[in-house]
A and B are shown apart, each in its own frame.
Chain A
């Protein structure tokens, strides 16, 4: 390659590189993910008087989360464990995040995705999940059981 040719291609490359670099730099900032703040409001689960018996009780809580350009109101399944002093556990399987269901006749929680099983108190029985169902912060206010719905972070799954 003679000097003239390489000078020509350098003169060609430099201005175009400058254009792409400026858009590329902006693109990095533009696409940067936005971490949404976890909601810490207390959500009503049920009146304490309704919670009794040996079986886990399935309830739905409706949580609001600001994600990107929307406030998403999403329904989540939780289980109240009256036998364990009304502890509330998330229905999200700690393995890969599917939703577990309560199997009344076999007295266990089962995950439909990868066959993890959990006992009636939420502890792990078998399967790829490495821990029991995650308990949620709960309290009793004016006779009502309330929880904070904090979704389990990907990083803490095992």
Chain B
């Protein structure tokens, strides 16, 4: 039975710690939503704004980021404590609620990683897409429903946002309320729970002061050598996926955890409870510890990887010192674009150049191909009007590579000059 004295009593305070960390996630999440915009062209800017400009923004975001990882760990410890106490038989609701919250918190973490829309978020969304798409039978359909279309787009980001801030928190809230009102436990939190929760928060708060939450480069700025890594609570899955061929990853990453959670939820009605839950939880702990350790080891032992991480860390550090760059939003009718300094693009620009370099020279990206913006080009060497005309005739002479090609057969000298004279006026 419950022994509340001494060190043993303090080991029983996981409820308090989980409750406090859940409250921290809710509060910091609501605050972040005051600035965040779930759109592929502004998500990264708004997160950068929170990091660099908003008072306490970096701390609030770090609390939310590391809090999600700590929460996962403490819910897991909470489930193990309930298992050791035999709660699955003695207090079914408490047991089921804990398992449900474990699953929901993992889902919140998985959807949350996509939101900042940095390179890391992009890859994490790709992995989620792959895991869904690889599911047996329902894979292609599940992938389409998750993405909201055939490709990752702004709709995908909105879906992850809605799941992350509306659906999953509502479900967690419902489970917590159900647990509060239906459980036989009279006092949810004792003084010791509250103190333990506050102490864990204190450590988290100090950690978050010292370590800002990571933010990788923007999706458009990440080089091909960028190495993404998921948050600590998903490293086990990340490492496991290295050893599993192809579509089997979906089995390990989605189906297996789903089956394990379902069995654990159904545990109160099963026979041989201690054996089933003991082996599932034991295997889970082993898998997580071994794979997480393997992930850290393989990253730190490979000198090339370690070097790339050092480069990425230095770049992030440099990015943090740069002043914030606001995004440009135009709320003017298109007709007045003629009133801006450069005026509208020449007809021939729209016909031949706009499909790659953007309708107003803003540049574009098509899959792996990046087409440079044509803004502020006179600031660069060899980009006078005469140079641009020459470049349009013979791009290789100006150090450009395909897909940029010569337009000497398509455009007259006069048309090239018109395009060049327009381009040199374009400003950022």
Contact = CB atoms under 8 A, between A and B. Distances in A.
Query: What is the interface of chain B mostly: helix, strand, loop, or mixed?
Result: helix
A99 interface: no
A30 B57 contact: yes
Interface in A1-56: 8-9, 11-16, 18-20, 22-23, 26-27, 29-32, 34, 44
A69 B45 contact: yes
A69 B326 contact: yes
Tier of interface size on chain A: 20 to 34
Given A12-B190, A30-B55, A23 B27 contact: yes
A72 B190 contact: no
Nearest to B52: A69
Nearest to A8: B191
Interface stretch (B160-168, B192-200, B370-378, B401-409): B192-200
Interface residues on B, range: 35 or more
A12 B327 contact: no
B219 interface: no
B234 interface: no
B197 A69 contact: no
Given A29-B55, A31-B31, A69-B324, A22 B205 contact: yes
B68 to A, nearest CB: 15
Interface in A44-88: 44, 60, 62, 66, 68-75
Contacts of A18: 198
Contact of B191 (A12, A66, A73): A12
B226 interface: no
Contact of A16 (B194, B205, B324): B194
B259 interface: no
A153 to B, nearest CB: 20
B207 interface: no
Interface in B185-234: 189-191, 193-195, 197-199, 201, 205
B45 A70 contact: yes
Interface string A86-124: 000000000000000000000000000000000000000
Which of A12, A15, A34 has the largest number of chain B CB atoms within 10 A? A15
Given A19-B20, A32-B55, A62-B339, A12 B194 contact: yes
B122 interface: no
A46 B355 CA distance: 33
A71 B326 CA distance: 6
A69 B327 contact: yes
B1 interface: no
A29 B189 contact: no
Given A70-B327, A74-B331, A74-B332, 20 more contacts: A12-B194, A13-B194, A14-B194, A16-B197, A29-B55, A29-B56, A30-B31, A30-B34, A44-B339, A60-B332, A60-B339, A62-B339, A66-B326, A69-B45, A69-B49, A69-B326, A70-B42, A73-B329, A75-B332, A75-B336
